[in-house]
Amino acid sequence: MQMSDHTVRDHDLQKENLKLASENLELRFKLEQSNVDLPRLKNQVADLKEICTALKKENAEVKKKLAHVHGAGQSGKTVPELEKTIGLMKKVVERVQRENETLKRSSASANKDRAAALKQENEKLKADYEKLKSQSEAELNSKLESKTKGLEKIVMENEHLRKRIKREAETAERLRATKMNLEVNNAKLEAKLEETDKRLLAALSSPLTEGADKNWKASVVTRMYENKMKELETALSQKTSSLAELKHQLKEAKEREDGAQTSIWGLEDQVDKLKSRSTASESETRLAKEFQAMRLLNTELQKENAALKQRLDKHSERYGEASPKLDEGTLANLLQAAESEKAKLQTEVSRLTKALENFDPSFFEELEDLKYNYNVEVKKNILLERELRKVCGQFGVEVQMPHVSIS
């Protein structure tokens, strides 16, 4: 809005300057015309003065002749007629002299007035120019300061997001370590179970000679089964709690990732606004590099999250007997979540594609990278669909998967 007002004001001032310049040029033409007419008028005045002088001489001669001659002169006119003619000539000469004086005074006063008016207009135009210059400098300085503050804010937010992504990576590493520990504990429990089964089979395969021995062995087997069942229940509860904790940590990581993604979208919008306003190519290059770095970090975080989800699904499939059975509603929710995640990724790809269309040709390489990442995400979605089909097949649930083309 301020830029439009400033543009309209500049346009009006330019119109006024053109109008004043045209008036100034017209006054200069009139002044030059007056300067051209002034010598001609002076020549006319000089000619009239000469005529007046000649008439005065002729009048003096006529008076001398009239002193000696009474009656008609040589011209055939009487003395009253000659006097009348001379009087008329005197009036003409006086009128011409008055007009000459009037022209001299009016020309001098008009030139002075025009010069004063032109000087005043020139001073006014200079003052307006200085005023507009100071206003433009103040507005440019304020805009530059606001843009600098905005860039500093974006840099701080980017640094904050880098720290958050680093914390997310550390959390993912801890989750990997926890999962590895769970796998090791599970392997140990399986080994113990196999060893117990072997002992039980060995005890059952031994000859039963006496009834007491048989009862003793049955009691021993019963106690062994009870102890083993307690151990298995304890291990199962531990694995269930560890799995619940792992799911909770994954959920928190997903929430933090969504928050970081939302912040990244906000920063992308701010970068787009600043790029549309700013004309500095260095700032655009730096912001584009920061946007590319944030996008790559976000892609890596999504890949790590997807890998953790796949490992969690494999862990759930491997120990599906120990985990509670999923009903149809839970499977439908999982399927809906996968489809929403896929739609979200597709929406993100479309939005980034539209955003990259506003860049110069040097950013088309990033578009190719974006296409490659999209194909990778689609392949991951296909793998997730296959896993979901397996799970749904185990529980007898029908699912309709939309077809996604990888091209």
Per residue in 70-121, pLDDT (tens digit) is 444 455 566 777 778 888 888 888 888 888 888 777 766 767 777 778 888 8
Whether the CB-CB separation of 150 and 274 falls below 8 Å is answered with: yes
155 found inside a domain:
no
18 found inside a domain:
yes
285 found inside a domain:
no
Q: How many domains is the chain built from?
A: 2
Between 125 and 346, the more confident residue is 125
pLDDT tens per residue, range 351-374? 766 765 666 666 567 667 777 877
Closest CA to 370 of 322, 299, 286, 266: 299
Q: Is 33's pLDDT higher than 70?
A: yes
Amino acid letter for position 355: A
Of 140, 168, 199, at which residue does a domain stop? 140
CA distance 63 to 57: 10
| pLDDT value, residue 101 | 83
Q: Which domain holds residue 363?
A: 325-407
Averaged over 205-226, what is the pLDDT?
A: 51
Query: Average per-residue pLDDT in the chain?
Result: 72
| pLDDT value, residue 208 | 43
| pLDDT value, residue 147 | 82
316 found inside a domain:
no
Closest CA to 265 of 245, 294, 285, 222: 294
Q: Worst-scoring range by mean pLDDT, 155-159, 212-216, 321-325? A: 321-325
CA distance 342 to 406: 14
330 found inside a domain:
yes
345 found inside a domain:
yes
CA distance 148 to 156: 12
Q: Which residues of 252-285 are buried (b: 16+ CB within 10 A; e: fewer)?
A: ebeebbeebbebbeebbebbeebbeebeeeebbe
Of 140, 174, 203, at which residue does a domain stop? 140
Of 140, 171, 188, at which residue does a domain stop? 140
Q: Is 275's pLDDT higher than 60?
A: no
Distance of CA 19 to CAs 5, 27, 112, 120, 127, Å?
A: 21, 12, 22, 15, 17
Instruction: Give me the half-sphere count of Cα atoms (radius 13 Å) on the Cβ side of residue 81.
Output: 8
Burial class of residue 194 in the structure, from the number of CB atoms within 10 Å of its CB (0-12 exposed, 13-18 middle, 19+ buried):
exposed
365 found inside a domain:
yes
CB atoms within 10 A of CB 342: 20
CA distance 144 to 109: 52
29 found inside a domain:
yes
Using DSSP's 3-state secondary structure scheme, residue 280 falls into coil
| pLDDT value, residue 232 | 64
- pTM for this structure? 0.27
- Encoded tokens for 257: 């990732």
Choose the most confident range, by mean pLDDT, from 31-45, 231-245, 249-263. Answer: 31-45
